Amino acid sequence: MSWPAADPCQGLEGDLYARVFAEGARDDTLILNMGPQHPSTHGVLRVLLEMDGEYVLRAEPVLGYIHRMHEHMAQNRAYVQFFPNMGRVDYLHALAWNWAWAGAVERLAGLEVPRRAEYIRVICTELNRINSHLLWWGAYLLDLGAVTPIMYAFEDRELVMDMLQLITGSRLTYSSFRFGGVLTDIDIEFVSRCRSFLARMPERLEMYRDLVTGNAILRGRLEGVGVIDQMTARRYGATGPVLRGSGVPYDVRRAEPYGLYHEFDYAVPVRHEGDCMARYMVRMDELEASLSIVAQALDGLPEGHHIHPDAPRGKWRPPAGEVYFAVEGARGKIGVYVASDGTEIPYRVKLRSPSFSNLSLFAEIGQGTLLSDAVAILGSLDLVIPEIDR
Amino acid sequence: MAILTAPIQALAAVWSMVVGLRVTVTNFFRPQETIHYPRQEVPPSHLDSFRGHIELVGADEDPAKARCIGCGLCAELCPSFCLKVVAEELPVDSAVCYPSQAGTDLLMPTPKFRAAPPSQTQPRKLLSYHLVYHTCSLCGLCVQNCPAGSLRFSHDVYLAGASRGRFEFDLMERLRGQAARGGAKGGKAHA
């Protein structure tokens, strides 16, 4: 037996991305894979780093771990059949994506939504935002080495999930909005649970402040780390708390009002430092803002239908045309573009997800930081991977 | 003043940690919030709104017989193609008796929002109804749109298995089993 003269795999050994990334590397540096197993990447995101000792010289996020082709799936399904996908694009703020899809198709077809349904949408979406920020808070601190806060966050999350289960039937990947309203009306039990949650949270937020926010170790890890100036944030198209942490008061709920958000009184939380602490504080402030919006919506909840009596049913054909609709998710601006050719299946769907733009920042702001700071910066961007890989 | 700044900052840092430890110690003496499954289980009242896999609703006159009219709308609307409904078409002159569309699931909108069955004139007899639950995304389109009010969500939160086959259901057989136990007629779903 003789071996072939040339190995057919020659030149293909090793990892493609690492080899391409290593081409520009200095001889005295180390190429380090941060993830997909590293806890601070939450499993699926991988970042290639070129390290000089403890310092990051270059950073390159590598995408494509959970590619699911949501946009292509939309072009193979009836409009209403695409709803369950929305809960999977961002599993932490699924209702915002539900709203983005429902709102886009409603705008395309000129569908009317009853006032009560709009209020229910606001309540559910804000509760879901609180849920998302609580999970981020716990997981971020876990990345930074604090184990107990996630237990406290999950205690409060549990209450929100119980409430949302009452109206959506699910606990994470919600699929409860429909064209022209929402699937289920809210009942007296939901309202009473919601009010007791609103009464409980100020004390809990105070406890969070005592436990972590004022902590000298946390401040040492976050203050002055990963500074994103306003122009850099704008250049990369960052949105949400990342942009507002850099001093830009852009919030889709205020800038391009949708639903009935213009009827609620709340301030858009903004911080000007641009560092990890600023992004942290924006999210903590947003928890309070969302609680305030939910309280106002509960107080003003009107009577009426939770779904329009003439709402389209089953597979239906919206008129031909194209439309863009944006909502404010927990991570930033969620956009849905739909082109319809008048059939029961969308001709083209494009999703604009905030995590993709926010992650793109990392390659620039990660340069020159310590490895431990890179973990803090990556966490402060609050990434949800299916949004990036959609 | 610069001499004083460093000690003051150090004291403030130590104090911030004392405040944090106070929270930890206080919480240490609070009752536990979690449930120690399998020693404890979630109270059934907490599962009233839980959307488990779908199941058939028994007819008023015979709980072992499904209300389903075999129209296949649920299978047509399912985005995951996880339903298989087999029905036999009966002669058109057979007496067509559509069951009551009274709301069977508190989670769903009132029946006036449900879609019309594909054919109101062709009577069918349901032969089999299979659910492949491991591909279901629990969107609720089947339950929402069933014209006969024949579907609802179960509250089976503890469903677990080591093979895919464990999550493939013959819902008609399941309904007969429920009827034999006396729990399938209308009202609330049972695991």
Asked if residue B109 has pLDDT above 50, the reply is no
| A167 interfacial to chain B (CB closer than 8 Å) | yes
C-alpha distance from B5 to closest chain A C-alpha (Å):
15
Query: What is the structure's pLDDT at B98?
Result: 52
CA distance A16 to A21: 8
Higher pLDDT residue, A315 or B93?
Answer: A315
Residues 6+ apart with CB under 8 A from B67: B56, B57, B58, B59, B99, B148, B149, B150
Of A376, A388, A323, the C-alpha closest to A66 is: A388
End-to-end, the C-alpha distance of chain A in Å comes to: 49
Contact B77 A313 (CB under 8 A): no
Quickly state the pLDDT bin for B107 (edges 50, 70, 90).
very low
Q: For testing the chain B interface, which of A124, A182, A184 should be mutated: the one with the most B CBs within 10 Å?
A: A184
Nearest CA of chain A to the CA of B187: how many Å? 17
Q: Which residues of B touch A168 (CB under 8 A)?
A: 51
Average pLDDT over all residues of chain B: 80
pLDDT exceeds cutoff 90 at A134 = yes
Note whether A62 and A17 are within 8 A (CB).
yes
Cα angle: A336, vertex A341, A344; to 5 degrees: 85
> Pick from A244, A222, A225: which is nearest to A234 by CA?
A244
DSSP, collapsed to helix, strand or coil, labels residue B54 as: strand
What pLDDT score was predicted for residue A10?
A: 53
Q: What would the two tokens of residue A203 be?
A: 């004390």
Residues 283-342 on A with a CB inside 8 Å of B are 306-307, 309, 311, 313-315
Rounded to whole angstroms, the Cα distance separating A27 from A130 reads 47
- What is the number of H-type helices and E-type strands within chain B? 4, 5
Sign of CA dihedral A361, A366, A371, A377: negative
Chain A residues in contact with B22 by the CB 8 A cut-off are: 210
Kindly report, residue by residue over B36-74, the tens digit of the pLDDT. 888 988 888 888 888 899 999 998 888 999 989 888 889
Q: What is the percent of chain A where pLDDT is above 90? A: 73
Q: What's the whole-number mean pLDDT along residues A155-184?
A: 91
Least CA distance to B157: which residue of chain A? A170
Band of the pLDDT at A1, cuts 50, 70, 90?
very low
* pLDDT digits 0-9 by tens, B126-175: 999 999 999 998 888 999 888 888 999 998 888 888 998 999 999 999 99
Instruction: Give the pLDDT score at B118.
Output: 54
Closest-CA distance of chain B to residue A29, Å? 36
A77 contacts in chain B (CB < 8 Å): 79
DSSP structure class, residue A26: -
Instruction: Say if the Cβ atoms of A81 and B79 lie within 8 Å.
Output: yes
> Tens of pLDDT along A140-157?
999 999 998 999 999 999
Distance from CA of A58 to the nearest CA of B (A): 33
Tell me what pLDDT residue B101 has. 46
Q: Which helix (H) or strand (E) holds A60?
A: strand A55-62
Residue with structure tokens 């194209």?
Answer: A322
For residue A65, how many other CB atoms are within 10 A of its CB? 16
User: At B91, is the pLDDT very low, low, confident or very high (cuts 50, 70, 90)?
Assistant: confident
Distance CA B151, CA B78 (A): 13
